Amino acid sequence: MTFIQTIILSIIEGLTEFLPISSTGHLILAQKLLGMASTGFTNSFNIIIQLSAILAVVVLYWNKIFRSKSLWKQTIIAFIPTGILGFTLYKLIKDVLLSNVFITVYALLIGGIILLIVDHLPKLNSGKKITSDLKTGNLLSIGLFQSLSMIPGVSRSAASIVGGLVSGLTRVEAVEFSFLLAIPTMAAASGYDLLKSGFSFTPHEYLLLGIGSLVTFLSALLAVKAFTTFVAKHNFTIFAIYRIILAIAALIILKS
């Protein structure tokens, strides 16, 4: 992995992690277009730089996060399904799912169609609940939705947002809870990957991780601010259409 490739991938991660378009899917497709092989380090890089995206959320939501113990409790409860399934299926996710670009492309396509349908179901767009209204069953349900994002291309953000809408949250509340739910989710995924890898990176790879983390953090700050402003006035149709177009274009390129 070169420095230029590192910067490109990190910008993509930061800009797409919290949008309902799948950052992992974009990273996999970008690596394919850049002619990069899928290796243990590239897969670890994709997971570990998410820690910087988490830091962006912590910085932006510092007051909300550390002033509410009940919010932390809700976030941890919602994380439980993803934590259990992620731990159980870790090897399958890293060695099989992350290495098959066609799984990613079809997940982008199907996810885009589902997001488009969700946008046109009045019942899912008329929620009035705020996060503090959610019961344990609602939180676990959101966590189960988020677990679908273990399939690259699904989008952790999209899955958890849809889960929030199904649970009756307003669009803005669903988006913000998906940001907060990302903290334990991505911290656990990155930490577990570091433990499994045994921190066995070369000095050059550590340098790439450092550069990637910084660029990801700055990009994520911009993306989170822009997305929260956007969803206050718009639905997710533009993201659904983008996913569908991207998936079709990727299929044409990959099969040509």
Instruction: Tell me the pLDDT tens digit for each residue of 34-53.
Output: 999 878 788 788 888 888 88
Average pLDDT for 140-168 = 95
pLDDT value at position 91? Answer: 83
CA-to-CA dists, residue 5 to 33, 49, 154, 165, angstroms: 11, 14, 24, 36
Does 8 or 33 have the greater pLDDT score? 8
CA 81: distance to chain centroid? 16
Measure the CA–CA gap between 199 and 207, rounded to whole angstroms.
Answer: 13
Q: Is the pLDDT of residue 94 over 80?
A: no
Residues forming a β-bridge with 129: 169
Average pLDDT over the chain, rounded to an integer: 91
pLDDT value at position 187? Answer: 87
Taken in order 73, 154, 227, 183, the sign of the CA dihedral is positive
pLDDT classification of 63: cutoffs 50, 70, 90: confident
pTM of the model: 0.90
**How many residues are given for the chain?**
256
Measure the CA–CA gap between 64 and 66, rounded to whole angstroms.
Answer: 6
Average pLDDT for 209-225 = 95
Q: Is the pLDDT of residue 8 over 80?
A: yes
